[in-house]
Amino acid sequence: RNTHMKGCKVGVAVRSHSTRADPVSVIGSTFRECGRGVFIQGQCCNPTVAKCTFEHCTASGVCIDSGSPQLTGCAVTNTPIGIEVLAGEATITECAVEEFSDVGILVSGPATMPRIVKCLIRADATGQRERATEVVVGAVAQSLMAGAAALLDDAAVTALPPTVPTIGIAIEETSAPHVEDTTFDNNDINICGLGACGVVEANLLGVTEFDNVVYVGATSDVVIQENDIMGTRRGTGVGVYSGARATVRRNKLDSVQLAGVTLRSCGETTVTENEITACQDAVVVMGSSVGKSHRNQTDLATVVFTDAAATFTAATR
């Protein structure tokens, strides 16, 4: 059937499930104090969810479990997870995900390929720390950190904190989102990929408590390009660890507490044409990292080696 909801106030979840390509739209509705506000399931279930508000949901505002739905102009606040994308090729545009306690957008599942464009992903990490004597650690963020730590060798255990309260976008299991023109603010880590792929492009990545953007694991393969990475309080700007592969190019990295880019036993990685300022070092290469760094603009030490000089090539031009 054709289903259309408009201007509703809903106190329980709406579930959309379809094996046929029926048009479904949910527009201008409010979902409050649900488990999940909207649950989308079924390969042919491609609803449009537009200008909806999700507040105080106990699991997530929206859960997408397949299909190619359109999520546009929605606001998700005060949830553990803002939006879950577990399968399919969703398009998430101009959505604001704020004041979450765990993860803003969770992308999980093999070959899950959402497109995230012109969104705002902003936790209240600072306020959370100021209000609570003991920071409540999100279950998903904690699990992701545990998985990352298991892949790090003993020398790199300090690369990531054991627990992180809030992650802007968490990516798992060879998922490959395209994150573009999105603003991140007040998160402990902005983007964390564990065995993840995809593209991170032209985003404004605000100051984080720990690493700003980090990918871990041999199945990780990501392009990080043309982003403004605004800094960290204790961490690196871009971290590529434990077999992860990356192309890091044409980014601006500023005011990072440690190195602009840190590579720890990474797979084939290229760091090129980045502008790196006000960091402790430009690029730090550790362990058995493989790749090259060249044509970066910086007034810092271009590349600092520990023990990877035999497998990593560095040039000042």
- pLDDT tens-digit profile of 56-84? 999 999 999 989 999 999 999 999 999 99
Clarify whether residues 267 and 150 are in a common domain: yes
213 domain-assigned:
yes
Residue 12 has pLDDT above 50, yes or no: no
The answer on 256 and 163 residing in a single domain is yes
Q: Is the pLDDT of residue 19 over 70?
A: no
Query: Could you tell me if 178 and 82 lie in one domain?
Result: no
Residue 283 lies in a domain: yes
Residue 181 structure tokens: 């023109």
* Residue 66 and residue 166 share a domain: no
Q: How far apart are alpha carbons 304 and 110 in whole angstroms?
A: 35
Which structural domain range is residue 56 located in? Answer: 1-98
Tens of pLDDT along 35-55? Answer: 899 999 877 788 999 999 999
Note whether 205 and 212 are within 8 A (CB): yes
133 assigned to some structural domain:
no
Distance CA 40, CA 14 (A): 9
- Flag whether 199 is in a domain: yes
| Sequence letter at residue 154 | D
Burial of 70 (0-12, 13-18, 19+ CB in 10 A): middle
What is the reported pLDDT for 156? Answer: 45
Structure token pair of residue 22: 């029926």
Last residue of a domain, one of 79, 98, 117: 98
Tally of structural domains, the chain:
2
Residues 77 and 188 in one domain: no
Task: Please check whether residues 190 and 255 belong to one and the same domain.
Answer: yes
pTM equals: 0.89
Q: Which amino acid is at 139?
A: A
